[in-house]
Structure 1
Amino acid sequence: MTDHRRSIPRTDVLLADPRLGEARLRLGTERVKGMIIAAQRRAREGEITPGEIMTAVLAALPASAAGLRPVINATGVLLHTNLGRAPLSAAARQAMELAAGVTDIEFDLATGSRGRRGRTALAALAAAVPEAEGVHVVNNNAAALILAATALASGREVVISRGELIEIGDGFRLPELLVSTGARLREVGTTNRSVTRDYAAAIGPETGMVLKVHPSNYQVRGFTSAVPVTELAVLCRERGVPLVADAGSGLLRPEPLLPEEPDVTTWLRQGADLVTTSGDKLLGGPQSGLLFGRADLVERLRRHPLARALRVDKTTLAALEATVGGPDTPTREALHADPAALRGRAEKLAARLCDRGIDATAVDSLGVVGGGGAPEVSLRSAAVALDEGLAAPLRRGEPPVLGRVERGRCLLDLRAVPEADDERLLEAVIGVAESAGERPRSAPTGG
């Protein structure tokens, strides 16, 4: 009997196949070679025939050299932390691609000497927030707070309300972050109530800074009080200590749809000496931490040795500049999406799915901001309701589609899905439903 393993093509022959030329450029020769060897192994074990090796290799080729997979966010959460928060605008992506090459990131072409790193990005941020005398960028908002606490209060006290000692994502707690800088916490007030005299009693010779934190991922209701920035600013000026305010959610200016979310411009106008916020939340940019405020404080932070360890790379600076100075971001477009238009899209998608024999219904829905912002704000939206059993196959499909299961239905909420992705979403649902070999049960109507 002839051993079929003798007919397995050699690795070098398969690697030279023209069909793998683009993959070698995209993934690298060694990675493609490893996939060929894995397919040859499957053939030797009888799982596939020698003639199917190239088909198996081509089917297994990933879209890029990175392990990340692009997904469609149909959860209704605009800033989904597990999905990378804000999707970047086309302008920001283009800027990142440009910056990935050789650029003048830290070089002055006019003089031929070293230039200020990220000067154009910093200028764009300064133009977006004219109230700020100085601007600095680090790699996330927690880093901004750590830099401020280290530069201003290491070995000294940070005065902060007990009601603002928050826990952020993945179990990280603000008190632990602050203490890691060498600062000591001077807690004032109680969990639900802090008043100006609490701060006044705590500020003294050991005070390095007063910290005001917006608890953006929860709200305390009932018998509560918190001291506004305006009152703290007056007290801090009288006592000669800096007031640092963490706005957190990435708003540079007031947002009418989110009146409870503080913004950098307003807090600076109200007297904060330094305001920190995120670049990858409602601002809609890349992960970064932004610091705005008094020129002397920003320069003190910028020159601190820790700033070097927390600085961002050239692609982040480029994306940030394009985000601030470019067109509306996908996050802003999703936030301001018209509920009636979303409903119209859902109805069209549901009708086309029904035409293919797939049970689908357009329903009203409620989206949320996510990303630790605006915890009690609901955004009117619309969704395509499918059978609950399609949720897992859609998540494992190509492209992966993430919806949410609610009251026995798989809801594909369109609030965070750009209209340009409707066709991809439709094809993904059709592919999953038809490959299942059976029609899902009817999705309940209404909503």
Structure 2
Amino acid sequence: MNNKELLRKLPKIDELLKEEIVLAELNHTLRPIVVEALRESINKFRNDIISEVISDFSNKDILRHFLYLIQKKNSSKFKKVINATGVIIHTNLGRSLLSQKAVESVKVSAENYNNLEYNLETGERGSRYSHIEELVRKVTGAEAAMVVNNNAAAVMLVLNTLCRNKEAIVSRGQLVEIGGSFRIPDVMNFSGAKLVEVGTTNRTHLYDYENNINENTGALLKVHTSNFKIIGFTEEVNLEELVQLGKKYNIPVIEDIGSGVLVDFSKYGLSYEPTVQDSIKKGVDIVTFSGDKMLGGPQAGVIAGKKVYIDKIKKNQLTRALRIDKMTLAALEATFKYYLDEEEAVKNIPTLYMMLSSKEEHKKRAQNLRDKLQKVAKDLEIKISLDYSMVGGGSMPAEKIETYVLKLKSSRISTKDLEEKLRKNFIPIITRIYNDEVYLDLRTILDKDFHIIVEAFNNIFLLEM
């Protein structure tokens, strides 16, 4: 057939709408989406004819492409991926995974009415913070607490309440960038607080703070530099000294602890990271921290500390703009409950489990996955090797956690192409490349996803035959 004949052969949309495949699809897909997919399928074949890519076709060919498009259109752009990178709190991949109880709590809150701002005892309007405040107090030892939508918001809200049109004194070495080009000085500026930098990048002394205190000082601010380390000729003021200085001049001390550590990791063989509980015990007036980093919960900013300051913060008009929703509250409450028993937290919160589970456990899992892959990808060279996972999320940057990885290399597919095919799988598998090998780190791969990885390799190597 020549091109004109092929173009005349193209079916009309109304004709294809009568096909059984299309009628079946209309039972569970919106008609506008179905019609759009049919139109795009016909246009694809029209362009292929004009470009002389094809010499013939049938309606079945068009419908096959239609089904491919429908699957693509029905799948969410916001989708599940498999994290095989070994970065546990991977900011680009959604940070911490929720525990099963947290997921169940989100589901209940999402599909039912609930007492978000309703006091069941009095039958009157209640506060959404009451659902979580008592738990945070029990876990951290703070007098009071509240939550907002992330830690940057928490820092801004605290500074806006306590330091608006006043000065906040902070060490120059703690003026960190917290990701996405958001910087502590910018957050402070937006809050209405005036930044007063003291000391130098590598050394700050107590007298640097004291020499800059005046009648317009609103707070002393300490920012935990969780996303970088300065080593060598360094000195910083410890928390106890800063708290004593604050008491001397009746100035609140605010600590942005960032990652939200509630477990002493040094007990499990990792480096010590300051915990929220330690900061509260040392007398800090306000501590702010993230919900979706080391805490292992949903995105949130937790503010804990002295009741006199928390009460003021709750009354700030910005609180409404920065408040968290019912699903986040449900997930955060379920996560904090685990911290009432540290053993349960370590066992059930995915972030903690990934960080603290033994390398031997992941070696066995690596062997299991290797055996499954070798059955479907005969030409794939697979090695099990000792390697290192990272905490990620701007937390514990110097910490390396021993793990086991699969190192993959094929004689038929380049390493770059293999990584790309895995990344573009229907359920994307995100890996890393090193020394011309694809690495799959078992520490961040879930057992329930083994079959997806095996199926992806099966499809890749079938296509390459």
TM-score (norm 1): 0.91
Q: Tell me which residue corresponds to 2:457.
A: 429
Contact 2:260 / 2:295 at 8 angstroms: preserved in 1? yes
Gap change, CA 1:19 and 1:64, over 3 Å in 2 = closer
Q: Tell me which residue corresponds to 1:254.
A: 264
Q: Tell me which residue corresponds to 1:140.
A: 150
State the alpha-carbon separation in 2 of the partners of residues 207 and 396 from structure 1: 54
Q: Find out whether 1:339 has 2:348 as its counterpart.
A: no
Q: Tell me which residue corresponds to 1:36.
A: 38
Q: Find out whether 1:86 has 2:96 as its counterpart.
A: yes
**Of 160, 167, 171, which aligns to 1:157?**
167
**SS in structure 1 of the partner of residue 406 of structure 2:** strand
For residues 43-68 of structure 1, what are the alpha-carbon distances to aligned partners after superposition, in whole Å with 9 as ceiling and x for unaligned? 55457643344433332324866411
For residues 371-430 of structure 1, what are the alpha-carbon distances to aligned partners after superposition, in whole Å with 9 as ceiling and x for unaligned? 000010000001111122321211111221111111121110111112232222222233
**1:277: how far off?**
0.4
Q: Find out whether 1:418 has 2:432 as its counterpart.
A: no
State the alpha-carbon separation in 1 of the partners of residues 66 and 260 from structure 2: 44
Q: Tell me which residue corresponds to 1:276.
A: 288
State the alpha-carbon separation in 2 of the partners of residues 63 and 373 from structure 1: 37
State the alpha-carbon separation in 1 of the partners of residues 405 and 423 from structure 2: 16
State the alpha-carbon separation in 2 of the partners of residues 225 and 133 from structure 1: 31
Gap change, CA 1:349 and 1:204, over 3 Å in 2 = same
RMSD: 2.2
Gap change, CA 1:124 and 1:35, over 3 Å in 2 = farther
User: What is the 5 A alignment of 1:54-133?
Assistant: 54-60=63-69, 61-62=71-72, 66-101=76-111, 102-129=113-140, 131-133=141-143
Contact 1:249 / 1:261 at 8 angstroms: preserved in 2? no
User: What is the 5 A alignment of 1:368-379?
Assistant: 368-379=390-401
**SS in structure 1 of the partner of residue 105 of structure 2:** helix
Gap change, CA 1:57 and 1:114, over 3 Å in 2 = farther
Gap change, CA 1:111 and 1:265, over 3 Å in 2 = same
**SS in structure 2 of the partner of residue 218 of structure 1:** coil
**SS in structure 1 of the partner of residue 320 of structure 2:** helix
For residues 321-344 of structure 1, what are the alpha-carbon distances to aligned partners after superposition, in whole Å with 9 as ceiling and x for unaligned? 122225621111111121011112
State the alpha-carbon separation in 1 of the partners of residues 118 and 41 from structure 2: 49
Contact 2:174 / 2:222 at 8 angstroms: preserved in 1? yes
> Which moves more between the two structures, 344-353 or 32-41?
32-41
State the alpha-carbon separation in 2 of the partners of residues 145 and 263 from structure 1: 17
User: What is the 5 A alignment of 1:39-50?
Assistant: 39-45=41-47, 49-50=58-59
TM-score (norm 2): 0.87
For residues 14-55 of structure 1, what are the alpha-carbon distances to aligned partners after superposition, in whole Å with 9 as ceiling and x for unaligned? 697233423x3xxx5544443333234335545764334443
State the alpha-carbon separation in 2 of the partners of residues 301 and 308 from structure 1: 11
**SS in structure 2 of the partner of residue 69 of structure 1:** coil
> Which moves more between the two structures, 88-97 or 2-11?
2-11
User: What is the 5 A alignment of 1:208-223?
Assistant: 208-223=218-233
**Of 297, 310, 313, which aligns to 1:298?**
310
> Which moves more between the two structures, 133-142 or 423-432?
423-432
Contact 1:40 / 1:50 at 8 angstroms: preserved in 2? no
Percent identity (aligned): 34
For residues 102-136 of structure 1, what are the alpha-carbon distances to aligned partners after superposition, in whole Å with 9 as ceiling and x for unaligned? 2221122343321211422333323322x111111
User: What is the 5 A alignment of 1:389-400?
Assistant: 389=416, 390-400=418-428
Q: Which runs of 5+ in 1 are unaligned?
A: 438-447
Give the count of matched residue pairs: 432
Gap change, CA 1:434 and 1:359, over 3 Å in 2 = farther
**SS in structure 2 of the partner of residue 170 of structure 1:** coil
State the alpha-carbon separation in 2 of the partners of residues 66 and 122 from structure 1: 35
